[in-house]
Structure formats: C-alpha cells, structure tokens
Structure 1
Amino acid sequence: MKLIIVDDHAVVRSGLASLLNGKHGIEVIGEAADGDEGIAKALELRPDVVLMDLSMPHGKDGMAATAELKQQAPDIAVLILTMHDDDEYLFRAIHAGAAGYILKSAPHDELVSAIQSVASGNAYLYPTATKRLMKEYLDRQNKGENTGTFEKLSDREKEILSWTAKGYSNKEIAEHLILSVKTVETHKANLMEKLGLKTRPDLIKYAVKKGLLTFE
C-alpha cells in the first residue's frame, strides 16, 4: 500500500513515516505540508491512500484538498487523520469524499487497520463516530423522519437553505435572488419548520448531508 502523509507539522509527518513505513505492507512514498502540496504529490506519485490532516493554516486545508483531490483522482482514497472529534467535521469530510476518518489519539493498530480498510476500497470511521451516526439515524427513525421531507421543500426554499448554510445573511440572499428580505425570512422560517430544525448548526449539518454545500 503506497501512502502519502499530509500534515503541516514536520515532526508529525516524520513520526508517522517512521511508525508506518516498511511495516504492515505500507510504503510511505511522499510527504506534504499543506493541501496544495498534497494534491500535487498525490497526482504525481499516485498513492493508494493519502493520510490527510484537516487543520493546516497555509494553502488549502484538508477539507478543501480532499474535495479537489477526489474530483481529479477519484481512485485515490483519502483517510482523514485529525484531532477534531466533532460531528460537523465528520459530516463535511464524508461529503468532501473522504473514505475514512480517524482521530490522532487512536492507537497504532487502529490507524493501520484504517489505512488497510480504505486502501481496499472500504470505508472507515472510528468506533465512537460509528455509534453516533447509528444513534442519529435511529433517533430520526424514531421521530418519524423520512427521506421525503426534503422533497417537500419548494425550489425556492431549497435555494435559501443552501445559501443560508453557506453563511450568507438574509440581506445578501435577498440581493442575490432579487427578493425582499421579508420574503427570504418567511421562506427560511417555513423550511426550518418543515425540516424540524432549530439552529444554524442544525441547518448546516442537514445541508451537508443533502449535498447542498461544496468546499472550495
């Protein structure tokens, strides 16, 4: 399994390379310090797996790099290795095309298993993330939520849902769609009620799961 490590910390990259290279059938063929360099290395060296950090302050971060790499080379699996134990990051990473998501606090053997899994074409989530996703699914089922709820939204409501999730204000959405601010507020209130959402973070998570957000 050919592997590239993308992380802005040189110590982390060298530590992971020492830990993994030449063991368990893994060959580390490259390293990169940011998303742009990671994409370039991956397209040049064509690894089986890119081990991608999320938080990199220079160049593209891991989320944007994952989305771009999957567009250009869908055959390369991306495994997110991060300190963020957070549902929103998890959903965004999945939407961006990551094949797996694992925490930096994970034991060595779990990291190896994750690499092997995504290299084989399977998905990997760390155990507590899997439990949370299952719980969320069961909670939705118990509340009677069904996949047709989204289809009940009007085209205009779907538009406003997408713009709102991307962080645009009511005024900005109104200007873009050539509507009054009051009309935008009414549409937003209606769609939130239909979807049973209460807060902006809830709306963002919903928009991510429905594929209404892109990360550039």
Structure 2
Amino acid sequence: MRPEPTPLLTHEPITVVLVDDEPQFRAGLRSLLGFYPLPDNQAIRVVGEAGNLTQALDLIETLNPHLVVLDLELPEGSGIELLIRLREKDYTGQVLVLSAHEEAQWVFTAMQAGAKGYVFKETAGTHLATAIQAVLAEQVYLSPEVATCFFERFQFLNQNTLQLVRDLDLTDREQEVLHWLVQGESNSAIAAHLYVTVATVKAHLTSIFEKLAVSNRTQAIVKALRLGLVQK
C-alpha cells in the first residue's frame, strides 16, 4: 500500500479513514473534519469508516488513505494490533490515535507500534487540527498532555527494562530475536540477521512466547512494546 508520501505538497484531497467503535463519535468527527482548514484550502475527505479491527484492515487495504484516525478500543482486537498489522502490510500512510486512554502505558505502546501522533479525545477540539497537519507532514505530534505521559513512561522504562529482562529470564539471543520480531521480520529474515537456522529461530520464539505468556507473534510484539523490552 503506497499512498502519496507527502500529501500536503499536492492539491489532491486528503483521504481519511475513521476507526472507532462508536458510530455517533465517528459522525461527529466526520463533521468536525469538514471544517478544519489545511494549507492552500486543501480538502479533507473521509472515504471510509470502520467499527472493528477486521473492517478497518479491509477498508485501509482497499482505500489506501493518506491518514487513519484511530481509537485504541476496538471489538475483535485493539488499535495496537491494528497498528502492528498495518506495519506488516507495509502501509505507508500516517496513523493518528484519538483515544480516551490517558494512561502513559497506552501512549507509549501506540507510538512504539507505529502511530505518528496521539491526542486525547477530551482535548480533540483544541489539538486535532494541528495534529492532522503535523502527521500529514510526516512529523510526530503529541499534544502537551500526551507528551507529559509519554516521557514519564519513557523514563520509567529506561529505569526498569533491565530488571524486567532479568525477571523474564530472556537470554541475549532471545532479546535479539525479539528485536527483529518487533521490526516485522520473518523467521527466515531473522535467521539471516543472526546467522542461525530457521529451526533455531523457531525454538527461540517458542521460548519467548512461553516467557511472555503469549501464544503468537502479534501478542508477543504487543507485550514487548508495552513492557518496553525493545525499541521499534
């Protein structure tokens, strides 16, 4: 999926997909976006809406929008999982999280998983227009309230990551495998990076899944990001 990388440099409408499980909220957001000014009077066009993870993946793959405005609470999965799945599909548009979750852990995990910006729902009226312009210009945007949460979490993780690794008993090699897993690499690619066999990578993944108490790659990536075990 390859949308125009810098849509603000063209005069084409900015295409947007809204992902939120509340139809009334999506309707209000759609109306709000119609009033937001962009440089050179460029239009914002909402081309699709999704209320769950499956719908969102299908819509984004089909419509290939410049921007996805994403809530993190979704039926059938989370917005974090959607971010990871989009990265696996090589989606190169931008994702702006608009969420009621104000906890530092959610902010940090969303940004680690690939979001370009994060705005709290209760302050959307103040920050959303600026956030959209920033992420479309390929800049990271955190509203002031979000930035405070993000850096508090970052400092906490820096202080506690080593202890977490010790507690989980991850070996150096397992940490390397986990790093490449979070980058979206396949088993064969990880094997090439580490100069080992695919069978060895699979054995390490089995051990990692057991230590993280997860059952698949996506769950492992989400948990690793949430715990701050690796950097994206």
The two structures have a TM-score, normalised by structure 2, of: 0.61
Rg: which structure is higher? Answer: 1
**Amino acid aligned to 1:15:** G
Question: Mind listing any 5+ residue stretches in structure 2 that lack a counterpart?
Answer: 1-13, 38-42, 176-203, 215-222
Tell me how far apart the structure 1 counterparts of residues 137 and 59 of structure 2 sit (CA, whole Å).
21
Which residue is equivalent to 1:166?
212
Which residue is equivalent to 2:146?
129
Change (3 A) 1:22 1:40: farther
Change (3 A) 1:107 1:136: closer
Please give the secondary structure, in 2, of the residue aligned with 1:110: helix
Which residue is equivalent to 2:196?
none
Tell me how far apart the structure 1 counterparts of residues 49 and 90 of structure 2 sit (CA, whole Å).
18
Change (3 A) 1:204 1:38: closer
Residue 133 of structure 2 is aligned to residue 116 of structure 1? yes
Please give the secondary structure, in 2, of the residue aligned with 1:106: helix
Question: Mind listing any 5+ residue stretches in structure 1 that lack a counterpart?
Answer: 169-200, 212-216
Tell me how far apart the structure 1 counterparts of residues 102 and 210 of structure 2 sit (CA, whole Å).
25
Residue 33 of structure 2 is aligned to residue 20 of structure 1? yes
Partner residue of 1:96 out of 97, 110, 113: 113
Change (3 A) 1:67 1:128: same
Which residue is equivalent to 1:155?
172
Tell me how far apart the structure 2 counterparts of residues 43 and 210 of structure 1 sit (CA, whole Å).
26
**Amino acid aligned to 2:103:** D
Q: Which aligned pairs between 1:1-216 and structure 2 lie closer than 5 A?
A: 1-21=14-34, 23-24=36-37, 25-57=43-75, 59-135=76-152, 154-155=171-172, 158=175, 163=209, 166-167=212-213, 205-207=227-229, 209-211=230-232
- Cα deviations across residues 159-205 of structure 1 (Å, max 9, x unaligned)? 7995577336xxxxxxxxxxxxxxxxxxxxxxxxxxxxxxxx9x953
How much has 1:65 moved relative to structure 2? 1.1
How much has 1:9 moved relative to structure 2? 0.9
How much has 1:154 moved relative to structure 2? 4.6
Change (3 A) 1:107 1:54: closer
Please give the secondary structure, in 2, of the residue aligned with 1:30: strand
Please give the secondary structure, in 1, of the residue aligned with 2:49: strand
Q: Percent identity?
A: 28
Tell me how far apart the structure 2 counterparts of residues 157 and 43 of structure 1 sit (CA, whole Å).
33
How much has 1:61 moved relative to structure 2? 2.1
Change (3 A) 1:31 1:139: closer
How many residues end up aligned between the 2 structures? 171
Tell me how far apart the structure 1 counterparts of residues 70 and 156 of structure 2 sit (CA, whole Å).
31
Change (3 A) 1:50 1:205: same
Q: Give the RMSD, CA atoms, in angstroms.
A: 3.3
How much has 1:72 moved relative to structure 2? 1.3
**Amino acid aligned to 1:30:** G
How much has 1:19 moved relative to structure 2? 1.1
